[in-house]
Amino acid sequence: MDAAVKLYLDAAEAGAPEARRKAGELMFAGGDEVAEAVLRQALAEGDAQAADALSELLEVTGRPDAAVDLLTERHRLGENQWALPIANLLADALDEPEAAERWYVAAIEHGDPDAPNDYAAFLQDFDRVTEAEALLRPAAEGGDEFAMANLGRLLLNGDAIEDGIHWLTRAVEAGEEDALVDLADAELDAGRNDAARRHIERALDADIDGSRLLYAHLLDREGADKSEVEAAYLAAVEAGDVEVEE
């Protein structure tokens, strides 16, 4: 790590673009206290991408307000890609929902492809489900697999079981494997044990969180031997799928 950082810094002094930012990113990954100064210098030298690592550093060191100030200034310079990170910081780290919503709207207006999903999640936190669905459905219908999965989850929470399973199935078919557990869970609740087993096995193969617990539920539902069911639940506990109170 130290040797790589030195090479990057030498390259930066020789005028290589992006080298100082890469040094700062390595320092940040290693916990180096000098990383912030290096990233700020990279930003001052015109490497706009350094704002990403610098804002993350500020957030993880307990200064989300400074991260917002940094990205807001970059946005004023015409870098519209920071609208969504600003919104997420305001919503998640600073608990300023009104300001966050303004930035979510700005991110959508700027055409950020991730904005509908993040804004919809924000809206659901305030029980604005109809607005969230209005954001997710067009994105899902347009082929966004993340929106498909999130729309499916939203619909299931609203007891629209068939529609929810439909969109989760489409998300899985589009490659969003993280939707497998939610899909299989919904199929179990709907009594579709064969389909649930197929999706649980895929989730187990992909080592997705929650898959072991769901497998134990499946065995229990199918009437498997008690010892097999108990072993499956113990495996789920050991994997962290089940929280155990001490």
Query: Model confidence over 29-40: pLDDT tens digits?
Result: 776 778 898 999
Residue 46 CA, chain-centre distance (Å), reads 29
Phi-psi region of 26 (alpha: psi -120 to 50; beta: other; left: phi over 0): alpha
Q: Which pLDDT band, with edges at 50, 70 and 90, does 244 fall under?
A: low
The whole-number pLDDT of residue 24 equals: 84
What does the pLDDT average to over 36-60? 92
Residue whose pair of structure tokens reads 């459905």 in the numeric block? 137
Provide the CB-side half-sphere exposure for 82 (13 A, CA).
23
Q: Which pLDDT band, with edges at 50, 70 and 90, does 101 fall under?
A: very high
> In this structure, what DSSP letter does residue 158 have?
T
The whole-number pLDDT of residue 77 equals: 95
As given in the structure block, the two tokens for residue 122 are 């924000």
What does the pLDDT average to over 1-21? 87
What does the pLDDT average to over 121-149? 96
What does the pLDDT average to over 8-33? 83
Q: Which pLDDT band, with edges at 50, 70 and 90, does 243 fall under?
A: low
17-21, 64-68, 154-158, 171-175: which range is least confident on average? 17-21
Q: How large is the C-alpha radius of gyration of the chain?
A: 23
The whole-number pLDDT of residue 245 equals: 53
- Distance (Å, rounded) from C-alpha 196 to C-alpha 239? 20
The whole-number pLDDT of residue 1 equals: 76
Phi-psi region of 127 (alpha: psi -120 to 50; beta: other; left: phi over 0): left
- Distance (Å, rounded) from C-alpha 219 to C-alpha 132? 35
As given in the structure block, the two tokens for residue 128 are 């604005």
Is the Cα dihedral 188, 190, 192, 196 positive or negative?
negative
- Distance (Å, rounded) from C-alpha 43 to C-alpha 57? 14
What does the pLDDT average to over 57-79? 95
With 0.85 as the threshold, say if the pTM is over it. Answer: no
- Asked if pLDDT for residue 242 goes beyond 80, the answer is no
Task: Name the strand (E) or helix (H) holding 130.
Answer: helix 129-141
Do 186 and 168 contact (CB within 8 A), yes or no?
yes
- Distance (Å, rounded) from C-alpha 214 to C-alpha 203? 10
